[in-house]
Amino acid sequence: MKITKTHLEGVLIVEPAVHGDHRGWFMETYSATKFKEQGIDMEFVQDNQSYSATKGTLRGLHYQLNPKAQTKLIRCTRGAIYDVAVDIRAGSPTYGEWFGIELTAENKKQLLIPKGFAHGFMTLIEDVEVQYKCDELYAPECDGGILWNDPAIGVKWPIDVTPVLSAKDKKAPLLKDAKLNFVM
């Protein structure tokens, strides 16, 4: 397993070791022991999966407030996404900055996004499945979002389309208007 840091502290790219043979391949998609060896220690309690039919579907930018904030370990198991983390921790030197990476079924990369970050992704092709682990259970009362194209954040989404959005995501607030409780 290879772990690569990004410019956002705590946002990590995880690349599992892939063991190929004549049948195909095998990989450990998560190992508590191997994560701990790399200094990453959390207990995942919920696994999620979503399917998006259309290219240019955008889910995000989402977070759960404290005390139900979530660390997420995201991977794409069918198709391809552009996955984005945005630092929304008050007092952080990288507050409002974002990191994006292509996660595909083929490249098998994962993104670890800690608490205090908003998360979103855009599908790059049709028929996309995304799976992710969370270290806190779903808590709708703490669920929040920031507008996907907030100019103050300026995420460079890779496909120039009007994205397919949920009704909730269409009316998400700008970062400056979001009522957050994350501190560095």
Ligand X SMILES: Cc1cn([C@H]2C[C@H](O)[C@@H](COP(=O)(O)OP(=O)(O)O[C@H]3O[C@@H](C)C(=O)[C@@H](O)[C@H]3O)O2)c(=O)[nH]c1=O
Q: Determine contact, residues 81/124, Cβ cutoff 8 Å.
A: yes
In angstroms, the CA 140 to CA 129 distance is 22
**Among residues 48, 54, 107, 181, which is the contact residue for ligand X, using CB under 6 A?**
48
**Among residues 50, 54, 107, 181, which is the contact residue for ligand X, using CB under 6 A?**
50
Binding mask 70-89 for ligand X (x = CB under 6 A): --x-----------------
Scanning 19-27, 35-43, 57-65, 92-100 for contacts with ligand X by CB under 6 A, the matching segment is: 57-65
Q: Mark whether 62 is an active-site residue.
A: yes
Binding mask 165-184 for ligand X (x = CB under 6 A): -x------------------
Which positions are annotated as active-site residues?
Answer: 62, 132
Residues lying near ligand X in the complex (CB under 6 A) are found at 48, 50, 59-60, 62, 72, 119-121, 138, 166
